[in-house]
Amino acid sequence: MRRILLLLFSCILTTAVFAQQDFSADVVRVKADNKTMPQGKMYVTKDKMRFESHEESGGHQGMFIMDFAKQTSAVLMPERKMYVEFTPEQNPAKQRTWAFFRATDVDDACTSWHKMATENWGSCKKLGSETVNGRNTIKYEGTDKQGKVNTVWLDPKIAFPIKWKDNQDNDGGELQNIKEGSQPSSLFEIPSDYQKMQMPMMPNMPQRH
């Protein structure tokens, strides 16, 4: 679960936008030495996304489903037939993360991101067009207040980031083998035979009475 969350929230979620075209793709990590490491499979349909991760040892599989419209997410554990559900209210920091899904204008993503800026926001600039894996993209560069620079390449056709990089350690990732087309609705639903697992109350989380 931790590996799935770390990959998604640190590499994809802070740069993602609503998809305009349904698609599936392989998620690959690109290391500083340009070596690639398969991370999993992604499926996207308009306002929903599914990520499947295969653990390197033991063949364990984890799944992550996000509903952008409802601002909810769920981590599925197939081996235990259980899932954990998250809402923005459960984690105030995540509410700020969801804001980045509002950048609906790929040609002017900086404007949307500036409107949703957090206390760590620095600057954003559009660098121009660039071809990534045979697809046309618009390249953006963001710098936080600590001077950390990240680059993201947005694909206008699917309105989604297909490459991202941390300029400090030159580590990042990309989407490969992108296949456009409708995706089965069942991919974005929690199976009926899965049981919901209750998570313990997080520190500083407001109590409901």
Q: Which domains does the chain have, with CATH numbers?
A: 2-196 (2.50.20.10)
Q: Provide the pLDDT for residue 161.
A: 86
In degrees rounded to 5, what are phi and psi of residue 92?
A: -55, -35
Closest by CA position to 37, among listed 195, 179, 172: 172
Confidence tier at 103 by pLDDT (50, 70, 90): low
**What is the mean predicted confidence (pLDDT) over 25-35?**
89
Q: Between vectors from CA 173 to CA 169 and to CA 175, what angle results, nearest 5°?
A: 165
**33 CB-side CA count, 13 A:** 2
Q: Provide the pLDDT for residue 121.
A: 66
User: What mean pLDDT, rounded, does the chain reach?
Assistant: 77
**What is the mean predicted confidence (pLDDT) over 176-191?**
94
Neighbours of 92 (CB within 10 A): 12
User: What gap in Å lies between CA 123 and CA 114, rounded to an integer?
Assistant: 8
Q: Is the pLDDT of residue 158 over 80?
A: yes
**What is the mean predicted confidence (pLDDT) over 150-170?**
87
Q: Provide the pLDDT for residue 183.
A: 95
Instruction: Give the tens place of pLDDT for each residue, 108-121.
Output: 888 776 666 555 66
**What is the mean predicted confidence (pLDDT) over 8-31?**
68
DSSP string, 91-143: -HHHHHHHHGGG---GGGHHHHHHHT--TT--EEEEEEEEEETTEEEEEEEEE
Could you give the strand order of the β-sheet that contains 36-45, starting from the edge strand earlier in sequence? 123-132, 135-143, 149-155, 160-166, 171-180, 23-30, 36-45, 48-54, 61-67, 72-77, 82-86, 195-196
Q: Provide the pLDDT for residue 150.
A: 85
More confidently predicted of 132 and 142:
132
The structure's pTM equals 0.78
Q: Provide the pLDDT for residue 8.
A: 47
pLDDT > 70 fraction of the chain, expressed in percent and rounded = 69
Q: Provide the pLDDT for residue 9.
A: 45
